[in-house]
Structure 1
């Protein structure tokens, strides 16, 4: 299974991005709209075209970072949002990032990585979040593909990965999904355990 940098970059070069809503995902927008601390250090892993990052930036959040394997996707973000800080746009691998964040926004990244890396995702997120740091966003609640992304999953499966590292604050069927994903998403809010593992 090829999920290399070239694989993802070609998807953006060919505009083969069916997972991209073209706008910020409504549940994530609703969550962001109730945040009051504009200095939160926020990471969007596998941000792609980064509509969430664009929305955060345009609403005064000053500490937003995007990391993606695809340079083409990051170029799209730079051209669309020229005022987005260049040093906050990282061409690289989430699993290699060496910074600390208050919040990770999860939007179609978890379903794009090799399913063998799901436990490593939970472990890495724990590692790079500060005390009381959170993962917030969306996970698919349907079985999808086995041999190519997006890879689906279930609430029970996700609990296995994240419970060792996070307090599960919210893991519920999403009521305000985009119409193309209605009934297929879980909204998540996981807070890092206070004690290290």
Structure 2
């Protein structure tokens, strides 16, 4: 969908590495999801069942394939030594042409460190470097104050609150839709944070 342009497989700033998922990451991912499960299950449909190594392997297999297919671009958040998964951030091509949806979660032991906002700023910058992308969106539950704080602080605009898709979430509910347009991006807080430390 993006021609010959692809997101970089690694994004690195002081204290945080974003790296394209590998099937070799299953054990580190299982540790992170297990340790964060109580909190994740409140907001993430995929976390409602107990985590297992087999589920992480299946997820990573899908993540590798969907990146290659240009459908989803999922990054693991790692410490600089790649000894632990700190969370995940992804760009999903499910909004139709010209748009990507960004989603994220952070290990419960590493919240309130700015990891989600830093990672989201970095992938927002990556998204607008791809040809044809004119907007990015972040969808989150209005009750998830921490998650909603990420697009708010990065300069995303709250476009609407709508019914969420039960097919994706398994139950009805509401979601906030935050939008960043290509025109609004340069000079935004997301742009500033992405360029404060040049991505390598």
**TM-score under structure 2 length normalisation:** 0.40
More helix by share: 2
**TM-score under structure 1 length normalisation:** 0.40
